[in-house]
Amino acid sequence: MYEEKTMHPKATDFIQSMIEFIEGLIDKGAAYNVDGNVYFNVNRAKDYGKLSKKSIDDLKSGARVDINQEKKNPMDFALWKKAKEGEPYWNSPWGKGRPGWHIECSVMAKTLLGETIDIHAGGEDLQFPHHENEIAQSETLTEKPFANYWLHNGMLTIDNQKMSKSLGNFFTVKDIGKEFDLEVLRFFLLSAHYRSPINFSRDVMEQLRNGLERLYNGKSNLEYLLDKALDRELTEVEKDILKKIDEYKYDFVENMEDDINTADAISSLFEIVKYSNSNFNEKTPKFVIQYTYDNLIELSKILGILYKKDEILEEEILKLIGKRTKARKEKNYQLADEIRDELKEKGIILEDTQEGVKWKRV
Ligand SMILES: [Zn+2]
């Protein structure tokens, strides 16, 4: 059974398991110790390069001249590194040192998820050598497939530039959260295929915020009609509406089954909303509205959006704040207070600060 659980393991909590993992590889003849540095022998891995579709020979000829005389092959990589003066270290059978970068992931994955992971994700820049090396270590030790599926996402650019501190365009999810509802950020990430590069800009975020609001409006429209609609037999024409909704759903499923094409799957949600906005009214039978609503919610849930319940939307909050600010300027304090109370009723608390009005949901 699927259980939802999130863990953020720390590599330093797994040092002993890493040592045991490396010992296992040495016992199998797939790793060797040279004066406190332990290397993985890529010639001992079955199909090294299968993930990134590189062959050892190609890699060797492409590799820079390796000055490390300790390695048997230039492509061999460190499992354990001998500590240099002043570096943090742990004790090991090979002396004081620290684990190599790749081994950390293999060991934490094996300990927490088992010998075979279903889906391993990561940025496309990690495919080689990092993920390739994870496979080599893990499959050599366990003799089982390391991951059934690999998802490598494209890179994020900011205003068509790479994100970097020196360009001054570096920011975190938390920073974005100050400006945009994070549901908009999720919607943004879903708006491109995960393998494609994606470009962040305020313009795009604003467009997506509007798109998301359109979906929310469609959802509350259906909720409103559900309240009014009558339970009655469907006519033949009304039965066809259900088929129409099914078609949108099939499109969604088809897109998602096509390597999780969320970019195109999203359009089904807009189609459902567009269709119901222009075809449903107070006379539409309850069953049709409920059916449409349930499908819209089911599909949105798969994407993790439209989860807010009857909440006042950000756009509306900002509009009301603007109205209140104007009222205060015009010394219409009664109206200003009314707006404050109206927002409070909807769970929005305003705070007047020197930089202007701030709001939060409570
Ligand atoms: Zn990793």
Interval 100-123: pLDDT, tens: 999 999 999 999 999 999 999 999
Rounded Cα distance between 236 and 296, Å, is 22
How far is ligand 1, taken at its centre, from the CA of residue 121, in Å?
9
Interval 313-323: pLDDT, tens: 677 888 899 99
How far is ligand 1, taken at its centre, from the CA of residue 105, in Å?
5
pLDDT given for residue 284 in this prediction: 95
Q: Does residue 1 have a pLDDT over 60? A: no
Q: Does residue 85 have a pLDDT over 70? A: yes
Per-position b or e across 213-247, b if 16+ CB within 10 A of its CB: eebbebbebbeebeeebeeeeeeeeeeebeeebee
How far is ligand 1, taken at its centre, from the CA of residue 286, in Å?
50
Interval 251-295: pLDDT, tens: 999 999 999 999 999 999 999 999 999 999 999 999 999 999 999
pLDDT given for residue 304 in this prediction: 95
pLDDT given for residue 287 in this prediction: 96
pLDDT given for residue 311 in this prediction: 59
Q: Does residue 2 have a pLDDT over 60? A: no
Q: What percentage of the chain exceeds 70 in pLDDT? A: 96
Task: Please tell me the CATH code under which domain 167-303 is placed.
Answer: 1.10.730.10
Q: Does residue 206 have a pLDDT over 90? A: yes
Q: What percentage of the chain exceeds 90 in pLDDT? A: 77
Mean pLDDT confidence for 210-224: 94
Is 13 exposed, middle or buried, given 0-12, 13-18 or 19+ CB atoms closer than 10 A? exposed
Say which residues have a Cβ less than 8 Å from residue 36's Cβ, sequence separation at least 6: 80, 82, 94, 95, 96, 97
How far is ligand 1, taken at its centre, from the CA of residue 277, in Å?
46
How far is ligand 1, taken at its centre, from the CA of residue 339, in Å?
51
Helix axis angle, 132-142 relative to 101-113, nearest 10°?
Answer: 50
Higher pLDDT: 4 or 246? It is 246
The CATH class for the domain spanning 11-153 reads: alpha beta
Q: Does residue 88 have a cis bond before it (omega within 30 degrees)? A: no
CA atoms within 13 A on the CB side of 206: 3
The pTM (predicted TM-score) of the whole model is 0.74
Q: Does residue 63 have a pLDDT over 70? A: no
Number of H helices, E strands in the chain: 12, 11
Mean pLDDT confidence for 32-50: 95
Interval 9-25: pLDDT, tens: 999 999 999 999 999 99
Rounded Cα distance between 340 and 343, Å, is 5
Q: Does residue 162 have a pLDDT over 90? A: no
Per-position b or e across 259-283, b if 16+ CB within 10 A of its CB: eebbeebbebbebbbebbeeebeee
pLDDT given for residue 183 in this prediction: 95
Provide Rg for the chain, Cα atoms.
28
Pull the structure tokens for residue 355.
């930089």
Question: Which helix or strand (DSSP H or E) is residue 346 part of?
Answer: none
How far is ligand 1, taken at its centre, from the CA of residue 127, in Å?
9
How far is ligand 1, taken at its centre, from the CA of residue 94, in Å?
24
Q: Does residue 156 have a pLDDT over 80? A: yes
Domain parsing of the chain, residue ranges: 11-153, 167-303, 314-361
How far is ligand 1, taken at its centre, from the CA of residue 130, in Å?
6
Distances (CA, A) of 328 to 76, 305, 315, 333: 70, 36, 20, 6
